[in-house]
């Protein structure tokens, strides 16, 4: 079903060790509007969406896993050389106590990921509007993350991710129109 290339969708570079920024980025790893929630939401919703847009949910859901991999790489690179005291100073003391430098699906506040972050109503329009909102929230979060760092290398990767959220939102809006047109079509049985 998938082909895995041993490279990231977009290069991830960081200029320095920065556990403070890693703490903020964890929001997109295991937060409510993060990449894991998005991937699982879309790949789950595809089972009750009309055939005309199944491929869209499959494609975007799969791409969200690529984004999750990018976020994990950013967090890893930002913390791999951090000392225990640097982790603690960045607000990651509890994370370190529980997980050392390992990644864990949690938000920036340390709250573990939960399935309550994802929605599946079964109504195609309701689900697609939920997806549009999710993409717009992720776009906003990426902008705020860009604003929180002066690392131009990291900003570059974050800008890529922000732009992909915009594209996903546009594609979901197109899917809404496809569903609306299909519903308006007179059906003869």
95 is catalytic: no
165 is catalytic: yes
67 is catalytic: yes
181 is catalytic: no
Exactly one of 27, 63, 67, 106 is catalytic; name it.
67
168 is catalytic: yes
64 is catalytic: yes
Exactly one of 64, 95, 106, 130 is catalytic; name it.
64
HEC readout, the chain: CCCCCCCCCCCCCCCCCCHHHHHHHHHHHHCCCCHHHHHHHHHHHHHHCCHHHHHHHHHHHHHHHHHHHHHHHHHHHHHCCCCHHHHHHCCCHHHHHHHCCCCCCECCCCCECCHHHCCCCCCHHHHHHHHHHHHHHHHHHHHHHHHHCCCHHHHHHHHHHHHHHHHHHHHHHHHHHHHHHHHHCCCCC
Exactly one of 63, 95, 130, 168 is catalytic; name it.
168
> Among all residues, which ones are annotated catalytic?
35, 64, 67, 135, 165, 168
């Amino acid at each position: 079903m998938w082909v895995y290339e041993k490279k990231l969708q977009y290069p991830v570079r960081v200029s320095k060790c920065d556990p403070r920024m890693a703490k903020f980025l964890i929001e997109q790893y295991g937060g409510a509007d993060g990449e894991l929630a998005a991937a699982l939401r879309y790949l789950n919703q595809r089972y009750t969406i009309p055939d005309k847009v199944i491929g869209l949910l499959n494609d975007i859901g799969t791409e969200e896993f690529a984004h999750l991999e990018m976020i994990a790489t950013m967090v890893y690179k930002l913390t791999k050389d951090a000392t225990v005291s640097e982790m603690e100073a960045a607000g990651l003391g509890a994370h370190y106590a529980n997980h050392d430098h390992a990644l864990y699906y949690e938000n920036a506040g340390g709250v573990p990921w939960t399935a309550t972050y994802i929605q599946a109503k079964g109504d195609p329009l309701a689900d697609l509007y939920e997806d549009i909102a999710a993409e717009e929230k992720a776009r906003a979060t990426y902008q705020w993350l860009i604003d929180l760092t002066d690392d131009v290398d990291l900003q570059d990767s974050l800008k890529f991710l922000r732009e992909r959220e915009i594209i996903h939102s546009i594609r979901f809006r197109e899917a809404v129109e496809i569903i609306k047109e299909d519903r308006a079509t007179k059906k003869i049985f």
